[in-house]
Copies of this chain bind each other. A is one copy, B any other.
Amino acid sequence: MTPELQELASIDRVIHEPVRLMLMTVLYAANEADFLYLQRECGLTQGNLSSHLARLEETEYITIEKTFKGKYPLTICRLTRKGREAFEEYARKMRVVAESVG
């Protein structure tokens, strides 16, 4: 097996799942975002977003802080250092695919 293929064989499936890939791409750029912003930005239902965020929290790629803005509940998601590094590693591996096409 070539090293490039080995990289793909060991791709991080937590990040690879398309909805989580969108979330990680947004969070990598913004570092933190609230629930409603993520929901709108990624075009997700509340339930779908919740379950994917829970999976990212479980893996310690993000933290989720529930707070208030005035009377309104506010849920802030933040990329952790572990999440940032995992996304960078993932993007490095996907570069192999992106670059295999002229």
Say whether B98 contacts A94, CB under 8 Å.
Answer: yes
Say whether B43 contacts A101, CB under 8 Å.
Answer: no
Stretch with Cβ within 8 A of B (4 or more), from A4-12, A51-59, A69-77:
A4-12
Q: Counting CB contacts under 8 A, is A2 at the interface?
A: yes
Given A2-B41, A9-B18, A13-B18, decide whether A25 and B92 contact each other with a Cβ distance below 8 A. Answer: no
CA distance A43 to B10 in the complex (A): 11
> In the assembly, how many copies of this chain are there?
2
Using a CB–CB cutoff of 8 Å, the interface residues on chain A facing chain B are: 1-2, 4-5, 8-9, 11, 13, 16, 18, 21-22, 25-26, 28-29, 40-43, 87-88, 90-92, 94-101
Q: Which of A5, A16, A99 has the most CB of B within 10 A?
A: A5
Q: Which residues of B contact A98 (CB under 8 A)?
A: 91-92, 94-95, 97-99
Say whether B16 contacts A8, CB under 8 Å.
Answer: no
Instruction: Using A11-B18, A91-B98, A98-B98 as known contacts, list a sample of 11 further A-B pairs with CB atoms less than 8 Å apart, ordered by residue number in A.
Output: A4-B25, A5-B22, A5-B41, A5-B42, A5-B43, A8-B25, A25-B100, A88-B101, A92-B101, A94-B94, A98-B99
